[in-house]
Amino acid sequence: MLKKVVIQGFKSFAEKTEITFEPSITGIVGPNGSGKSNVAEAIRWALGETKTKILRSERQQDVIFTGSQGKKPVGMAEVTLILDNSNKYFPLPYDEIAITRRFFRSGESEFYINKSPCRLKDIHELLVDTGLGKHGYAIIGQGQVDEILFSSPEEKRSYLEEAAGINRYRMRELEAKKKLLET
Ligand code: ATP
Ligand code: MG
């Protein structure tokens, strides 16, 4: 389903880097510290991950390339994911969906779905119940198996509900309750 990742200015990827995924299995190999985990983090980040711990950073700004020998720091991190939607898995009338996230050193964020500006919330809504989003299990990081095994019953339920396609409704329920409180 993931066809391509384009990374620029994110962590160790100073220059624009494109990684294409062919059907079946893709492996990424390389020496320690060469940026393998950074690729997975770039994907998570573009999918809307906001927890800095999961991104192995302290502040949001830490995802921006900080410079290396002979390379200057950059002012913005940008990651685009190209998802195949020829089977209309996502309810949008396009064969491909491009999700873009940008973050500037100034602290400003930008999100795009197929080049149209949107909110982070729109990305969360697009991905809810697909396993890719906030409560997703499509990316299992190092040490995360334990985290799932030892999570609270509520958190375990959330994983099951994501698989069952219920989180979409839970999200709407929460929103409706919030609106009710506001009135
Ligand atoms: P291992 O095999 O040890 O797991 P890896 O290939 O997964 O290694 P990563 O953890 O993806 O490697 O990459 C780590 C590298 O990314 C380090 O060299 C680190 O300096 C670099 N890095 C992380 N954040 C930034 C940043 N904001 N700017 C520049 N470089 C960064
Ligand atoms: Mg690693």
77, 94, 119 - which closes a domain: 119
Measure the CA–CA gap between 90 and 177, rounded to whole angstroms.
26
Nearest of 135, 117, 140 to residue 174 by alpha carbon: 135
List the domain range (segments joined by +) for residue 44: 1-119
- The residue with greater pLDDT, 17 or 162, is 17
Res 2 pLDDT > 90: yes
- Tell me if 60 CB under 6 Å of ligand 1: no
Per-residue pLDDT of 35-67, as tens digits, reads: 999 999 999 999 999 999 889 999 999 999 999
User: Which amino acid makes up residue 66?
Assistant: T
- Tell me if 158 CB under 6 Å of ligand 1: no
162 with 75, same domain: the answer is no
Q: Does 38 carry a binding-site annotation?
A: yes
Q: Does 34 carry a binding-site annotation?
A: yes
110 with 163, same domain: the answer is no
CA 51 to centroid of ligand 2, rounded, Å: 18
DSSP secondary structure letters along the chain: -EEEEEEESBTTB-S-EEEE--SS------STTSSHHHHHHHHHHHTT---TTTTT-SSGGGGB---BTTB---SEEEEEEEEE-TT--SSSS-SEEEEEEEEETTS-EEEEETTEEE-HHHHHHHHTTTTSSTT--SS--TTHHHHHHTS-HHHHHHHHHHHHT-HHHHHHHHHHHHHHHH-
Per-residue pLDDT of 156-182, as tens digits, reads: 998 898 899 998 898 899 999 999 999
Domain CATH for 70:
3.40.50.300
ipTM score over 0.85, yes or no: yes
- Tell me if 13 CB under 6 Å of ligand 1: no
20 with 109, same domain: the answer is yes
134 with 88, same domain: the answer is no
93 with 146, same domain: the answer is no
Write the residue with the smallest CA distance to atom 21 of ligand 1. Answer: 12
119, 147, 162 - which closes a domain: 119
132 with 167, same domain: the answer is yes
84 with 144, same domain: the answer is no
95, 119, 143 - which closes a domain: 119
The per-residue pLDDT for 138 is 87
- Tell me if 56 CB under 6 Å of ligand 1: no
91 with 13, same domain: the answer is yes
Measure the CA–CA gap between 82 and 89, rounded to whole angstroms.
14
176 with 140, same domain: the answer is yes
CA 8 to centroid of ligand 1, rounded, Å: 14
CA 34 to centroid of ligand 1, rounded, Å: 6
**How many domains would you assign to the chain?**
2
Per-residue pLDDT of 69-122, as tens digits, reads: 999 999 999 999 999 999 999 999 999 999 999 999 999 999 999 999 999 999
61 with 133, same domain: the answer is no
CA 96 to centroid of ligand 1, rounded, Å: 30
41 with 97, same domain: the answer is yes
DSSP secondary structure letters along 23-67: SS------STTSSHHHHHHHHHHHTT---TTTTT-SSGGGGB---
Ligand 1: nearest atom to the Cα of 57: 24
Tokens 């390339």 sit at which residue?
65
Ligand 1: nearest atom to the Cα of 35: 11
Res 135 pLDDT > 80: no
At residue 140, φ and ψ (nearest 5 deg) are -110, 110
89 with 149, same domain: the answer is no
